[in-house]
Amino acid sequence: MRKTPVAPRKRAGKTGPRKKQASGGTWWKPLSFGIGGFLVLCLGIEYFKEGGRLAYLRHTIEEATQTNTLTALNPAGYEVKGLDISHHQRQVDWKAVKAQHIKFVFIKASEGITHQDKYFNRHWRQAKKHDVLRGAYHFFLPARDAESQARNFLKKVKLEAGDLPPVLDVEVTNHQSDEEIRAGVQLWLDMVEEAYDLKPIIYTNYAFYEQHLAGYFDDYPLWIAHYNPKENHLLANSKWAFWQHTEHGRLEGVKGHLDLNVFNGTMEDLYNLCYEPDTP
């Protein structure tokens, strides 16, 4: 019986060097760049669109104070000077600030319905400790519930005798109509005035006041941001109480640029504005 010949087996050739598998840990890089680019795009759109949340960062001719040029840091004829600060000024040498004849300060306390400035408490305590008249302000978002915004501010700020009146900072539209903006502003003012039996101050810039608020809040003290003021600083038949005359001020004891202000009156007039709670 003849055996069936068996075909010779092929020798396995040498395999080439194995390619390293692509690392699975690099997938997040393009995703991160994509997300980052999308966020930057969103912020850019919000920054430039009319009435957007970031519009207050732009002090252009139409939107803010008509000019961004620097005027004198010490306007002639005003004896009472002050500043306003927020979390952007983390450290303040209050002794040095007071030595430069700064008499008052407004400090950011809250914004919208939930945000509270994380450096408010520190600034609030230190201003009082160094005998600088202090006031607190709320950044108003017209698209958010005004009652909740007032409660946010009142929860954060506890005025004491001798403090300046509360301030409502209103300078963006959030795409709300003038009627909606004014209704929300009025509700916030009413709630805070009822809480302290003291009329709040309205802060805004020149153009925003003329376009949206003029003639509706004449009974409230006005704090105006205007870096190239008109003669006599008259605004729709209303005279300002505080004038923020620059956003590029400098003071020893505070790093970076500052908003500097003057009060339209004497120290006695300023004291007369301050909070005096009823004594039982």
Based on the residue annotation, tell me whether 84 is a catalytic residue of this protein.
yes
Helix, strand, coil shares of the chain as percentages rounded to 5?
30, 20, 45
Point out the catalytic residue in the list 84, 111, 169, 259: 84
275, with CB counted inside 10 A (0-12, 13-18, 19+), is middle
Cα 234 from Cα 39, distance rounded (Å): 42
Do 173 and 144 touch, CB atoms closer than 8 A? Answer: no
Backbone φ/ψ region at 136: left (φ over 0), alpha (ψ -120 to 50), beta: beta
> Which residues, other chains included, contact 105 with Cβ-Cβ below 8 Å and sequence gap of 6+?
82, 83, 84, 85, 123, 127, 132, 133, 134, 135
Do 249 and 83 touch, CB atoms closer than 8 A? Answer: yes
User: Torsion angle of alpha carbons 159, 161, 164, 166, nearest 10°?
Assistant: 30
Question: Alpha carbon of 262 to those of 71, 84, 265: distances in Å?
Answer: 13, 11, 9
Token representation of residue 164: 């300046």
Q: Residue 176 corresponds to which amino acid?
A: Q
Do 243 and 229 touch, CB atoms closer than 8 A? Answer: yes
Based on the residue annotation, tell me whether 117 is a catalytic residue of this protein.
no
Grouping H, G, I as helix, E, B as strand and the rest as coil, residue 234 is strand
Point out the catalytic residue in the list 111, 169, 171, 259: 171
For tokens 């759109």, name the residue.
Answer: 45
What positions carry a catalytic annotation? 84, 171
